Each structure stands twice: as C-alpha cells, then as structure tokens.
Chain A
Amino acid sequence: MQLLFEQLLNGLQLSLTLFLLAAGLTLVFGIMGVINLAHGSLYMVGAYAGALVASKVGGFWLAVPAALAAAAVVGVAMELLVVRRLYARDHLSQVLATFGLILFFNGIIAWGVGRAPLQMDMPTLLSGFVELAPGLPYPTYRLAVMAVGVVVALGLWYVIARTRLGMLIRAGSDKREMVSALGVDIAGLFTLVFGLGALLAGLAGVMVGPIRSVQIGMGEQVLITTFVVIVVGGIGSIRGAFVGALLIGMCDTLGRAYAPMLLKLWLSGPLADGLGASLASIMIYLVMAVALVLRPRGLFPAGG
C-alpha cells in the first residue's frame, strides 16, 4: 500500500516533467508543422546550464534562472537560424536537420564540458522529506517539482485559453496567411512560441538535474517518450499533452514497479523479472497503440 502510494507520486512527478517537455513539442509540431527532434537538446541545455552554474557559480537558486535563460536563448537562436527555414519543407528535411542539431549539441557539450556525467546538488531547503502520512515520508524536492509542474500547467492553460497570444496560437494553426494579413507578425509569433517551448524544456531539464545524472544523450531518451505523449494526447493540444503525459507517466512508472510482481503470480521468479522488465519498457508503446486504435487523432485532437 505504502509502495503503491509512493509509486503513484513518482508517476505523477514523471508525468508533470513529461508535460513540460510535451507542451513545447506539441505546439511546435501542431502549429508550425515542424518535427523538432532537437527539443530534447533544449532539455539537455537546461540541465547542463543548471548543473554548471550550480557547481561553478553557486547554488541551485541561481541555476534555475540560468537554465531557463540558456534554454530560451538557445531555443530562439535555433528557431531563427535553423527551424525557421524548415516550415515550408517536408517532414524528412525537418527530421534530418533537427537530427543534425542533436549531433551538434551533443558534440558541443562533449567538447566543452566533457563526456562524464555531471551531478547536481539538491538545494538544502528542499533536500529533506515530508511526512505525507504517518510512516510515509516523501522527498520534498519531488513534491516541489510536482508543484512547479502544476503551476506551469495552469499558467499555460490560462495563456492558451484566455490571452490574445493564446488566441493567435489557436487561430494561427490553420490560417497563418489570414493571421498575417490582419497585421500579426507570424514569424515573430512562431519565434515566441518556440522560445516558450524551449524555456519549458529547460525548466524540465534543470528540475530533473538533482534527481538523475546530467549527461549527453539525456535528451534523446526523454524525447521519444515525449513524442509518445503528444501522439497519444493529440498533436497541437495542450490539454492533450497534459492528459497524455499523465497517462504515459503513470503507465511507465507503475509498469516498471508492478509488471514483474504481477507476472510472478503466474511465472517463476527469474522469468517473471525478465519478462516484466521487458514488458515495462514497452508498456508506453502498447498504451500508444491502443490509444491510436481507439482515437486515431489522439485523445484531444487540436481544435476538435
């Protein structure tokens, strides 16, 4: 029971981190029509900027704004220099170009920082445990990560649903030409949205820093899961990204925790462990397959 509760919270925390990544990816894919494989690189940039500032300059609380700024600046530069040229191109060109960006960023970090993973210290303020119920301690830091995720989700919902920027984002997805003919700088709007997505990816990166090690390739792993999230949720939809992230984050966490255990009901120990581990690692793809059979355009198709 206690384990289940803890796993549920872990799942929620993974879900909210995935949501931060999925929000930017789904907007860029849904509105601008660009498949940005390098979205994971922005996550990595955030994590590295955070880890480096935390260790070399001082402290987690400086690391967070530094990571946000680094990811946003790199994101805006990426849009202006590369992604902007891809809007009118086909998906193959986009995949090739943004895959090139992944190699570029991995190369830059290997050259500038080195291949050894970095560790990032947790802030002392958040390094303890909170007793959620008698005999049920849970790391404060993970709770804080969840709180940030929830606040960002609410903030994004507000921006998309209630502000003019959100209206333009929703309007621009199918009528770019019309939006520009009414006096809106679509190119600037895209840069802004891309920068916002980069900022959220950087936030996810720096928050994950103290939980996992900061290393080259961390972006690619999470990117694949993030794509699963937005495909399940419905490309272009923030709400879909949120629900998709919850579904995928929970399935992944619970699958890893319980698949071997459940299989042990029928199979012998080692066999159940092996099969359970494999099952857990493909769990999210099974979920995606089922979701796509039931809702081919995702749970919340944009504009639906």
Chain B
Amino acid sequence: MMLSVQSIDAAYGDAQALFGLSLDIKAGEAVTLIGRNGMGKTTTIRAIMGLTPPRAGAIHFEGQRIDGLKPHEIARRGLGLVPEGRQIFVHLSVEENLVATAANRTKGATPWTLARIFNLFPRLAERRAQSAGTLSGGEQQMLAIGRALMTNPRLLILDEATEGLAPLIRQDIWNCLAALRAQGLSILIVDRNLDELMRLADRHNVVEKGRVVWSGTSQELAAERERIEQRIGV
C-alpha cells in the first residue's frame, strides 16, 4: 500500500471535520475523493499533509507512519500537493515558482526539470519570466501542478484542480493528468467532474460528514451513478 489512512479524526479548534475517515491508495493507482461542499475532502488532504494534523487514527506512507510529522517532513517523503485555490507564489516569477521548492529527494530515474515542465505546459514556457500573479486562472493551475511535480513526488495530490476554469483549459489539465498517470504516478484527486474522474481514476470514495460512506471502482460508480450523483449533488 502506498498511502493508508486509517480511521482518522481531524478538527479545526472545537469543530470536528473528520470522523474516523479511512482511505487507501496502492502504488500507481489514481483515487478520488468526491462529495458535497464542506464534507471534509480538503480536510482529509490537509490531514495527510500534516497541515491539520489528525487527532486520532494513523496515516502510513510506503509503510512508514507519517501522521505527527511536520508538513515539510511529510512532503519530503514524496507527497506533492496542488492545493485548493492554487496558492501560487504571486510575488515570484513563473520560473521562480517552479524552482524555489524543487527537489529530487526520492531519486527518481527521470526527475522533473524545467524543460520537462515547459514541455508539459507550453503556456508556462512563454511566460517564464512573468510575475506569477499576472497569469490567468488556468495558467496558475498549471503552475501549481508544475510546482508540485518539481518536488518529484511519488503521490500527487490535487484539490479541485479544474475548479473555475474555462472548458478548454480544463481539458488540458485532464489530458496532462492522464499523461502523468500513464507514466506511473500515483494520484489522489478531489474534483466534481464524474465523467473525467471515471476516465482517469481506478477507485472513488464518497465523503460525507467526515467519513467515507461509499467506495468502489469506476465500473461500480458507473453502475450506481444516479444514486451517487444525488448523494454528492452534482
């Protein structure tokens, strides 16, 4: 198992957001979290990354326990985050965004380089010296993905990476994720577009009130699609 989240609780102050949530990702798999607004998808990701550390339960990454570690220690084991709202560094240039936190700690055979990122997202190459704050939403999203890839993660975590983007750009992002997937990268993704998620991912988890209430493969999701669409409100 690459990532194993076992029955975690997490809270913001007194407000508990996760109630014994569990989740598994095998190496090379793409897994989704789907659910209505405010159900705990982002909190699950924050708990995995150590940004909102779980108060109970355990998280293992590649066999080692990571809950309780600091965010940077968790990231360094090979988790790359593309956060909700992109969170790019608006005061840095596009190129600086990519290199500022770049690293190859996991010693992959073909590490990500600026050239490979620019190959994946030619739009970023054209704007490499530009201040990142001047990019369009879609370009910022590409930058956030590129920035995470430059840390050479083994598991890429994406939170609403197509949210609020124009259809064409959205399609670019899905194509890029499919290409990454084909290269063997493991992915945990939160999104609303079930068609694309079913095409990209192996398994899906419906999150409701801080728990996984349904999980299954893309075929199982297709079979129960109407019922699940109702539950997650898309």
Which of B58-66, B100-108, B195-203, B224-232 forms contacts with chain A? Answer: B100-108
Tell whether A181 is near chain B: CB-to-CB under 8 Å. yes
Interface of A: prevailing SS: helix
Interface segment, A42-50, A53-61, A95-103, A168-176? A168-176
Kindly list chain B residues whose C-beta atoms are within 8 Å of the C-beta of A182: 72, 75, 80-81, 101, 147-148, 151
- A170 CA to B100 CA in the complex, in Å? 10
**B90 contact set on A, CB distance < 8 A:** 174, 303
Q: Are A180 and B72 in contact (CB under 8 A)?
A: yes
CB-based nearest B residue for A304: B91
Q: How far is the CA of A174 from the CA of B147 in the complex (A)?
A: 17
A164 is contacted by which of B99, B148, B151 (Cβ under 8 Å)?
Answer: B99
Nearest CB in chain B: distance from A80 CB, A:
16
Q: How far is the CA of A164 from the CA of B90 in the complex (A)?
A: 16
Complex formed: what's the CA distance from A186 to B76 in Å? 13
- Of A174, A180, A184, A186, the contact of B91 (CB 8 Å cutoff): A174
Q: Which residues of chain A have C-beta atoms less than 8 A from B81's C-beta?
A: 181-182
Q: Which B residues from 201 to 231 make CB contacts under 8 A with A? A: none
Find A168's partner among B70, B101, B151 (CB 8 Å cutoff): B101
- Residues of B close to A178: CB separation below 8 A: 83, 87, 89
Are A171 and B49 touching (Cβ within 8 A)?
no
With A178-B83, A180-B71, A182-B75 already in contact, the answer to whether A171 and B151 are too (CB < 8 A) is no
Whether A183 touches B89, Cβ cut-off 8 Å, given contacts A167-B96, A168-B100, is no
CB proximity of A105 to chain B, nearest CB, Å = 31
Report which of A175, A181, A185, A302 forms a contact with B89, defined as CB distance below 8 A.
A175
CA distance A303 to B77 in the complex (A): 31
The contact of A180 among B70, B96, B103, by CB within 8 Å, is B70
Query: Is A261 on the interface with B (CB-CB < 8 A)?
Result: no
Q: Please state if A181 and B75 are interface contacts (CB–CB under 8 Å).
A: yes
Contacts of A180 in B (CB 8 A): 70-72, 75
Interface size class of B (residues with CB under 8 A): 20 to 34
Question: Complex formed: what's the CA distance from A222 to B51 in Å?
Answer: 40
Contact B103 A171 (CB under 8 A): no
Among A164, A179, A180, A186, max chain B CB count under 10 A is at A180
Whether the Cβ atoms of B92 and A171 lie closer than 8 Å is: yes
Min CB gap A137→B, angstroms:
46
- A183, B51: Cβ atoms under 8 Å? no
Q: Contacts of A170 on B, CB cut-off 8 Å?
A: 89, 91-92, 96
Contact B72 A185 (CB under 8 A): yes
Q: Which residues of A contact B91 (CB under 8 A)?
A: 170-171, 173-174, 302-303
How far apart sit A303 and B83, CA to CA, in the bound complex (Å)? 22
CB of B87 within 8 A of CB of A183, answer no
Q: What's the nearest-Cβ distance from chain A to residue B3, in Å?
A: 16
CB distance from B93 to the nearest CB of A (A): 9
A181 in contact with B49 (CB, 8 Å): yes
Bound: A261/B9 CA distance, A: 73
- Residue contact A183 to B83, C-beta cutoff 8 Å: no
**Contacts A164-B99, A164-B100, A171-B100 given; does A181 touch B51 at CB 8 Å:** yes
Nearest opposing residue in chain B for A161, CB measure? B96
Nearest-neighbor residue (CB-CB) of A178 within chain B: B87
B100 proximity list for chain A (CB < 8 A): 164, 167-168, 171, 179
A171 near B76 with CB under 8 A, answer no
Which A residues, 149 to 166, have Cβ-Cβ distances below 8 Å to chain B? 164
Q: Which of B96-146 contact A (CB under 8 A)?
A: 96-97, 99-101, 103, 105
Question: Which A residues lie at the B interface, using CB under 8 A?
Answer: 164, 167-168, 170-171, 173-175, 177-187, 302-303
List the 9 shortest-distance A-B pairs measured between CB atoms, nearest first.
A182-B101, A183-B75, A167-B100, A171-B89, A303-B91, A180-B71, A178-B87, A183-B76, A180-B72
Give me the interface of B with A, judged by CB distance under 8 Å.
49, 51, 70-72, 75-76, 80-81, 83, 87, 89-92, 96-97, 99-101, 103, 105, 147-148, 151
16 contacts between A and B (CB under 8 A): A167-B89, A171-B91, A171-B100, A178-B87, A179-B100, A180-B71, A180-B72, A181-B49, A181-B51, A181-B83, A182-B80, A182-B101, A183-B151, A184-B72, A187-B70, A303-B91
Q: With A180-B70, A183-B76 given, can you name 20 additional A-B contacts, CB distance below 8 Å?
A: A164-B100, A167-B92, A167-B99, A167-B100, A168-B101, A170-B92, A170-B96, A171-B91, A171-B101, A174-B89, A174-B91, A180-B75, A181-B71, A182-B72, A182-B80, A183-B103, A185-B70, A186-B72, A302-B91, A303-B91
